[in-house]
Chains A and B, each alone.
Chain A
């Protein structure tokens, strides 16, 4: 802010050329100042992760931590990682996370898109009423219905199964809403043309509508994947079998248990976090675009 004020306080006696170059200089100074502020923020964003990583490679961190934080271990070793993967079936946790996230997300995409298609292009009695009913449920946070959901899962004997982590989340009001908005913008002519050719509604959905829905499907994939992968409250209620822990939930349980060693704990965190970060590096453009499209976060 202060640098841009300098523009108006530049001496009026200066020549036009001088003004222009002083303007350029203030612009440059302004850019440097913004860059410095942004860089300080970026360091604050990365430092905890970097410290985690550095400590996770230090065997002595389990016994005594240096009083002055370092970002390079004094005794680099992969000891903590060996302990972490022997202590916990982390690979199994990853597999569970993968199964749950992929199934729930595929289901979410399917049910959101096909229901969205019906509400965008279908003609049926009670369409707007049903849509409004769906929209009102968007306002009901998960936390408010979790107790009866837990009881329902027990009655259905779905506790401690993958189904418990998948089934409640495959039909989503938000997904349906987003898909309906997007599909509404697809011209009716395209759909009518297919109908004239004798295609039925399911064929039109699969062959005409879905191929055009890349952007909202990508956005919903990201949201659903982040929700399922990072969820901890619901697994806490319905999963007690260690073999069904997701990586996030397994990390949470390990981290909550008393007496865990610092180095091992941070190595476990690193194992849980880093693969996703690498994935994020490659997909960050799409992820950020998807988040901006929906306005929702993971």
Chain B
């Protein structure tokens, strides 16, 4: 045992810098977020207050609105981007001319920084002369939508504008992942389907979709985490309050505003813990249904 430990020493030396940095910037801050959420700064020291901040949050209309808003924006985004990117990826997969050119073009927004894209889109959605309304005016649309100046839940309001923005940014990435999934479907399955006389739609429904299940789950997990932690583009367009009328405020924006504008680190930490629990639950839920389906469909493992 001692000899094994001594032989281990070199490896410990190799991994220790990573673990020290990890402890400092991942483990400790996570632990500290939980701790802070149960304390309150009184004068110069922190005093234990139990679940006070959680009670405050659950009775806080601004926080609950931000929570709801995050979920709403995330669900609408995923409901649009997943089917759209699947169809586009399927089409691209069947395209024989310039497939790589299109792949590169659709991926372009993804390498551009979110804030640059958001800044450009604040002008694209400008109601009087923006690119979108300019084209709508050409098409004779009256009255022209207000986009980022319209905080209500309407099809052409601020939430719609940022959803269009998010789909525009993410489409190429989702297509790329779907394409990888499509190319992993065994060709024999398609051959068998043709032999059995299945039409293209039947093949798509019975062969392609079920075989894409891992891809769907992967995109749902990463997509929900991204949606729950959405910040940069909305901060750029609406500031920490998610202007107009907090219609663009998400949990992370609320957390940022509470911590760095109201200087209430404890309350902000409690909202961070709630965000963490939601992300954890969503991931576990997605992952569990994924594992269950995977293992039940392959009894042999």
Contacts and interface: CB of A to CB of B under 8 A. Distances in A.
Contacts of B180: 292, 295
B54 to A, nearest CB: 15
A230 B114 contact: yes
A22 interface: no
A134 B259 contact: no
Interface residues of B, number: 100
Interface in B1-56: 4-5, 7-8, 10-12, 14-15, 17-19, 21-22, 24-30, 32-33, 36
Contacts of B19: 130
A45 interface: yes
A57 to B, nearest CB: 14
Contact of B236 (A65, A145, A256): A256
Contact of B276 (A55, A65, A140): A140
Contact of B123 (A55, A139, A248): A55
Nearest to B175: A41
Contacts of A292: 176-177, 180
B141 interface: no
Taking each of B21, B236, B265, which has the highest tally of chain A beta carbons within 10 Å of its own beta carbon? B21
Interface string A64-84: 011111000000000000000
B58 interface: no
B60 interface: no
A11 interface: no
A59 to B, nearest CB: 16
Q: Majority SS of interface residues in chain A? A: helix
Contacts of B111: 226, 276-277, 280, 287, 298
Contact of B18 (A123, A167, A171, A256): A171
Interface stretch (A86-94, A185-193, A265-273): A265-273
Interface of A: 1, 4-5, 8, 30-31, 34-35, 37-38, 41-42, 44-49, 51-52, 55, 65-69, 111, 114-115, 117-119, 122-125, 127, 130, 134, 137, 139-152, 167-171, 173, 176, 200-202, 226, 229-230, 232-233, 236-237, 248-249, 251-252, 255-256, 262, 265-266, 269, 272-273, 276-277, 280-281, 284-285, 287-288, 291-292, 295-298
Interface of B: 4-5, 7-8, 10-12, 14-15, 17-19, 21-22, 24-30, 32-33, 36, 88, 91-92, 94-97, 100, 102-124, 126, 128-131, 134-135, 137-138, 168, 170-173, 176-177, 180, 199-201, 218, 222, 225, 228-229, 231-232, 235-236, 239, 252, 255-256, 259-260, 265, 268-269, 272-273, 275-276, 279-280, 283
30 contacts: A1-B201, A5-B200, A31-B97, A34-B94, A35-B97, A38-B92, A38-B102, A41-B171, A45-B171, A46-B105, A48-B117, A51-B124, A65-B128, A67-B128, A67-B137, A69-B130, A111-B21, A115-B15, A137-B22, A143-B231, A143-B252, A143-B255, A148-B28, A148-B29, A148-B269, A233-B232, A251-B115, A269-B116, A276-B111, A297-B173
